[in-house]
Structures are given as structure tokens and as C-alpha cells.
Structure 1
Amino acid sequence: MGLLINLGFLFLFLSKFMSPVGAPPGMFIFGDSLSDSGNNNFIPTLAKSNYPPYGIDFPQGPTGRFSNGKLAVDMIAEMLGLPFAPPFTDPSMSDPQIFQGVNYASAAAGILDETGKEYMGPIPLSKQIDNFRQTLPRIYSLFGQNASAMTSYLNKVLVMVSIGSNDYLNNYLRPDLYPTSSQYTPLAFSNLLVQQIAQQLVGLYNMGIRRFMVYALGPLGCTPNQLMGQNCNDRVNQMVMLFNSALRSLVIDLNLHLPASAVSYADVYGMVSDVLINPSPYGFSVTSQGCCGVENGRVQWSCIAGAAPCNNRNSYAFWDSLHPTEALNRIVAQRSFMGPQSDVYPFNIQQLVSI
């Protein structure tokens, strides 16, 4: 009887929530504040953005997204015909929502477990993967414990991974709090981070995931938080490029050694650098400061609660001193969704989900 009920529920569920032909049945998101859709709202941490002026251009207002509006992962979900993935920590998340994807990203989190400890309690990548593992039995129940249907589903969903910025900004570049800069050269540290990501991606593969989009780090040295006067912090950008190079090599290696997998690398560094080097064709006029009120870009990187942001938000690349505006997020989303191999290698998202 229980099986019949489950199968009946699944039939009704699929008929209501089925994605367009060629789209994945769901999207699962791992990362940091560039992707967090509200996980940090429900955990005891200092890294929160569930207050104005965050969300000023988002339909639901402040939701915990670190932007004025939509994140890149939100826009990609829309392009795929999927709803916005709900945050894992939201106790109201329902099983039908879980089927179409979950957002595990946590602001201030890093690849390394200790990263972001000064913000008290962000969810590191390893724990995000554990949270995904906890989600699987709930999805499995939707299939009436049908193992072959569950396997087919996991093979088709899209996993998005965008993390690593905090391992630099809130770890390696903070010798007052972390010993990593004295323990590792920049090259050794980048290799350490990518080795950790490799373990987590293989772990997801072993759970049944086959389609991955892995995002490079953007030019952190060019964020308002890191600018040296009007110039980018080249030292920081060189560290980021070491990480990105190792990450791209990992993606190539995974495609060679994980049977039936499809792993892609999105060159966010190149996408954002194009905008910052030549902003006017993209509609931007301000790239050296954030749009919302920030007291001190290096110390207080987030928006001042209740402060009135700039009016011309579409002309700003950065919302606060670290995070992109919705306008810049849109460029990253569009180029990773349909860009050439110089942007997304070896497959863009459109190609990835149709394999």
C-alpha cells in the first residue's frame, strides 16, 4: 500500500513539476556567498544579508542573497525552467521542492573547514556535501524506493560548485587569524584547495552525480575590497590564477577518469575581467566601488543596514565591496549558460544538460 501511495504521489508530482525537454530534473548548488540563497538565515553566524538594502531588486526583498537582486544560479535556474533552489537549512522546505534542487551554499564558507571561523558557523564545503547526502533518502522516497529511477535521476541532475574566495579572503590573506600563509606557498595552497575539491567532487560522483559545472574564482584583487587605490591587487590576482589553473586541470582530469561524467569549468575570472577592463559596452560605469553603503571596504565589506543604495544599480559592477550586482551576475549566468569554450570548457550549461 505504501508503495502505491508513493508511486501515485510521484506521478502527480512529476506531471506538475516536470522540467522542459532537455532540462535537468533538478539543480543542486554548493558554494559560498555568491550562491547562498538564504542558508545563513537559519544558522548562528555573523555572515548574513537578510536585511535592506540587500534584495532591493529581488521580488521577495531581502532573502539572504548577497546582492541587490538575483544571483547567477537563480538566473541559470530560470534558463533551465527550474524554480530557485531553496536553502537546505530552511525548515519549511518540502519534498517536491527538494526533487527540483537544493541550495547548500553558505556565505563565508570555504573549501577548508576552518575558513571563515571568525564569522562563527558558516557551512564548509565538506558539510555541504554531507547535507546533500542527507537529502538523498527524501528524494529516494519520492521514487517509491525504486533504485533504477533514483540512479537515472541523479545521473541527470546538474551540480553547481562555486567556492574558494573565502579560503583566500578569510584565511590565507588573514595571517592575524590563520597560519596558512606561513605554512604554504601560494602554489602549494592552491594545490591543497583543489585537492580538497577533487575529493568532494569524487564523493558526489560516487553518490550518482554525473553532470558538474565548476566555477573558477573571479579577479578578487579587483573587488573594491582589495583595490590598491584605483588599481587591482596583482598579488591577490596571481594567487587566484594559480588556483584557477589547478582547477581547470582538475576538470580535464575528472573527465578523463570518471566514466560517463561530464564536468565543465566556467572561467569567471575571464568573464568578469572583460567587464572591468572595458565596462562601457556592458553598460557599466562604476567598477571601483560598491553600490550600497559600506563604511570601510576592507574592514566592513557588507552593506550598512538600512542605508540608501545608489539609484543607477545596473551601471555598478559591485553591490557591496565584494559581491556582484544582479547586472554583473547576469553576464556570468548568460556566458556560462551559452558561452564558447573560451568561457566554459569543455561544455557550456546548455550543452552539459543535453549530453
Structure 2
Amino acid sequence: MGYPFSEGKFVLGIIFALWRMCSAKEISTNFVFGDSLVEVGNNNYIVTLSKADHPPYGIDFGKPTGRFTNGRTIIDIAGQTLGLKEFTPPYLAPTTAGPVILRGVNYASGGGGILNETGKLFIGRINLDAQIDNFANTREDIISSIGRPAAVELLRRALFSRLYNLGARKMVVVGVGPLGCIPYQRDINIVANPDSCVQLTNQLARSFNSKLQTLVTELNTNLTGAKFVYANVYGIFHDIIENYKSYGFENANSACCGFGGRYGGLGSCGSQPLEVCEDRSKYVFWDAYHPSEACNMIIARRLLYGNSSDISPMNIVQLLQSS
């Protein structure tokens, strides 16, 4: 399930999130669907080659948690900014039960995808169909806990993506980022300019995004009461890469944690000693596929507060405030 920096070859770029508004500036519930860009530890509980439960992952989070970055994910940062008191827990964690689910659940899984065959080389992963099934289970648990009317109201006032039939009405659809710019793609493809991205890969991403944006417009027209917004992560991330120095970065091409190839994109983070860069905040990329926390902070802020070139027809804060 993709987004710009998933496992490199099979991304589609839709992140699912649900927040319930408590006030114009605060939220209390967050449901997240996606891949390794927003996973917080579901893969720790399944047999899979796609895990981030070991150092140096989580080095700035305090410990490895299953997040595929050095610190917080975009969803972690957005949730904190909007008022969540705690990080949204993984669905498969034994402690994600009872009253905890009323504050939200994260269903994301590294290697998972929109297509069920996506990520099969990782053996285990939780694809979109299974994530939706897991949410349906949570929904029934919420109904049992607080009653159907209250559960329906929680979902009706939510921010969500593509789960309209399960009661969601405010939805964010995130486009694919510039896949040709990740260290993995740079290292497996020969480019004439060492500082340039892989253009064919980026062209495919732009083509998909164009169709996705059209779909968002159609959904807003055809689904009564729904509000879809399109998040232009391609544009945001491309801007960061092109103007990285103005954002305070010193390296926009290479993995902070990685080895092999010119950009450290051929070896997995954590499999070799002493491979982490000295200052993570100066790198756009954490590993061969995923952004650093510093980069996630920029992306999250632009999705929350950005103008129509970043996210349209309104940003996430405006969506939450809308009736």
C-alpha cells in the first residue's frame, strides 16, 4: 500500500486516516490504514521479512517500535499536532483492546498493498482487504462498547479515506510521491546525472496521481455527504528534494541508515554496524525507502495547513472544521 517510499517496487500511495473532532483544534480518535510509512508495529506480531523491530530503527523515538523511520511517522506528528494525547496503537498488539480502541487503532503493515499479491516476497503482510476486515472488527467492538448511535456518530464526524460504506464521511486520499527519487531507485537505475531522480519511475507516479485526482473529484460528486481531499505528496516531497537546503537539510539523495551503492540504497538498515549518519535531522531519507522524522514533520505540517497546491480542495485542519 503505498506512498512514496514503500518497499520500492509496488506502491500505490493511499494513506487512510480517521480522526473524530472534539473541537476545531482537537481530535480524540485516529484510525490509520497504510503501509510501512505509517506502520507502528503490526508486523512485529506476524511472520514477515518486513520488520522494523530492531535498532537503529526508532533511535530518536527511544526504542524500536515497528516504525520504519528514526522517529515519528507523518501520522504520529499530525495526530500530536491535532491534539491526540497518545500515539495510536497497532491493531495486533494484545493491549489494543477495551477502552483503548475508542482512541483509535493503526492497521498499517509494512509490505502491504491495495492488491492482495503486493509484497508477497516479504511472506507475511496485512494487505488492504485484511486491514478493512480488521477495522470492521474494531467497529463492532466500538458498537458493543458505546452503542450503535454513538458509534455511528463517531464515524460520521470522522476524517477517513475510502471506507465510506463503513460510515466514514471525511476522507483524505494521498497520491504517490516521487518514487524515482528514493535511494533504492537511484541505486538500481543508472542515471546520467548523479543528483537526478529516475524519470521513468516518477513519470509513472505522476500518471497514477492524475487519475487518482480525477477519482477524488468523482467521489465528491457521487457519494452523498462525503468530503474527499487529495493530498499532493508528490509535489510536497519533490519540493523538499529540490530545495532541501532551504529546509535545513544537507543531503537529499542518500539514506542516513543504509549501505551499498552510491546512495546507500542497496543494503537494509540495521544489517551492518556503524551505518547511521551522524545527524539524522540533516537527511531527507532515513533508509532506502522511507523519509526521516525531520522530513515527516514538514510533510505533516503541509498536509495539515497547506494551500491548494499541497492538498485540495481543503487542508486537513479545514476538513476537520467543516460541517
Q: TM-score range by the shorter chain?
A: 0.7 to 0.9
What is aligned with 2:168?
A: 209
Would you say the 8 A contact 1:294–1:320 is kept in 2? no
Would you say the 8 A contact 1:289–1:318 is kept in 2? yes
Q: Equivalent of 2:182, from 217, 223, 233?
A: 223
Give the superposition deviation at 1:292: 1.2
Give the superposition deviation at 1:304: 2.5
Would you say the 8 A contact 2:56–2:269 is kept in 1? no
What is aligned with 2:64?
A: 62
Distance 2:241 2:313 in 1: 25
Question: Secondary structure of 1:341's match?
Answer: coil
Would you say the 8 A contact 1:27–1:159 is kept in 2? no
Q: Equivalent of 1:330, from 283, 297, 309?
A: 297
**TM-score normalised by structure 1 residue count:** 0.79
Runs (5+) with no aligned partner, structure 1: 1-17, 161-200
Give the superposition deviation at 1:19: 6.9
Q: Equivalent of 1:243, from 208, 211, 214?
A: 208
Would you say the 8 A contact 2:259–2:265 is kept in 1? no
Distance 1:19 1:151 in 2: 14
1:256 matches 2:221? yes
Task: Say what the alpha-carbon RMSD is for the aligned residues.
Answer: 1.7
Would you say the 8 A contact 2:181–2:198 is kept in 1? yes
Cα distance 1:20–1:289, how it changes in 2: closer, same or farther (>3 A)?
Answer: same
Percent identity over the alignment is: 43
What is aligned with 1:51?
A: 54
Higher-Rg member (1/2): 1
Query: Could you report, residue by residue, the CA deviation over 1:142-182 in whole angstroms, capped at 9, with x for unpaired residues?
Result: 21x2x22221111122225xxxxxxxxxxxxxxxxxxxxxx
Question: Secondary structure of 1:158's match?
Answer: coil
Give the superposition deviation at 1:347: 1.6
Q: 1:150-299 maps to which residues of 2 (within 5 A)?
A: 150-159=151-160, 201=162, 204-227=163-186, 228=191, 229-296=194-261, 297=264, 299=266
Distance 1:43 1:348 in 2: 35
Which amino acid in 2 is paired with 1:271? Answer: I
Which amino acid in 2 is paired with 1:243? Answer: F
Distance 1:27 1:245 in 2: 28
Distance 1:208 1:286 in 2: 43
Distance 2:289 2:154 in 1: 36
Cα distance 1:267–1:301, how it changes in 2: closer, same or farther (>3 A)?
Answer: farther
Counting helix residues as a fraction of each chain, which structure ranks higher? 1
Distance 1:263 1:19 in 2: 16
Runs (5+) with no aligned partner, structure 2: 1-19
Q: Equivalent of 1:125, from 125, 128, 137?
A: 128
**TM-score normalised by structure 2 residue count:** 0.87
1:136 matches 2:139? yes
Would you say the 8 A contact 1:31–1:105 is kept in 2? yes
Give the superposition deviation at 1:350: 0.3
Which amino acid in 2 is paired with 1:223? Answer: I
What is aligned with 1:74?
A: 76
Distance 1:345 1:241 in 2: 16
Question: Secondary structure of 1:264's match?
Answer: strand
1:348 matches 2:315? yes
